[in-house]
Amino acid sequence: MTSQSTSKNLREATHWPSRFEVPKFSIDVELRLKKANNSYHQTKVPLDVPRDVKSEILSKLVQAIFEVKPYPTRNEVGSVVIALVRKHPCLTEEQPSSGWDAWLTSLWFKVGNYHFKLRQAGMPEVAINRKRYGKDGVAKFSLKKSRRVEINFVPDHPEGQMNETLEEESSREVVEDQPLVREIEERWPAMFLTDEICREFERITKVNLMATFQSALEKFAPALLKLYRSKKESEFRALLVPLDEKVRESIYDTLF
């Protein structure tokens, strides 16, 4: 799997399928599994999986998982293992396990190892999704999505380009380095204009920011005014006096 195709799969991750499709393995592994499956149906004795066979199975499963979702949950990985054992019952583990506990542990570890390999290879979508540690030393995982329509989309550099040559397309720097808001405002002051903020908000959320704000303001303004009038501080009264005058003027203009 190339870096380009892997990056494409990460960006186009879909919902987890209700029934995971187990990929086909190499011809020799498929033949060995077929023979072991026939034997298992007769004897109920599981296959003593050779190391090379197990390694190929895990590698193919991880690649198939990443074609669907780059960051599966443990339950989703478990559904892959269940599908594997159902397709190849000779891989069922002996009791007292559930029949696939060791496979789940191995595959879960393999997924994490695959993340590490992609980070080492320079995959941006995986590099920015790493464990971050808080002040208490506890790992806090911050997952950044990578679809093109989302704010955390971080595409690879075009061939021959560098950070310095892509000043206008600086989402990589913002997402990975996480600079202070003050620094962003100094470099790109236009991003903090009201119109620009409203347009960006609507692009990401498909919601009109000002219309939503004004609607909420009309809804909660009476309760807020009632709260302010109940306060005895002179500052609140000083703020309400000009408001009351404007209300009286508006009523007068309407009536007369």
Q: How many Å apart are CA 117 and CA 184, to the nearest integer?
A: 32
pLDDT (tens digit, 9 = 90+) per residue, 29-71?
999 999 999 999 999 899 999 999 999 999 999 999 988 888 8
**Residue pointed to by tokens 């991880």:** 62
Residue pLDDT, tens place only, 100-127:
888 999 999 999 888 888 887 777 666 6
Q: What percent of the chain has pLDDT over 70?
A: 70
Average pLDDT, the chain: 78
Q: Which residues contact 57 (CB under 8 A, 6 or more apart)?
A: 25, 29, 49, 84, 91
DSSP 131: E
* Tokens (6 digits) for 201: 């908000």
What pLDDT was estimated at residue 226?
A: 79
Summarised one tens digit per residue, pLDDT across range 158-193 is: 666 665 556 556 666 677 777 888 888 887 788 888
Gap between the Cα atoms of 138 and 133, Å rounded: 6
Question: Is 111 in contact with 77 (CB distance < 8 Å)?
Answer: yes
Domain extents for the chain? 3-130, 177-207, 213-255
pLDDT above 90: residue 14: no
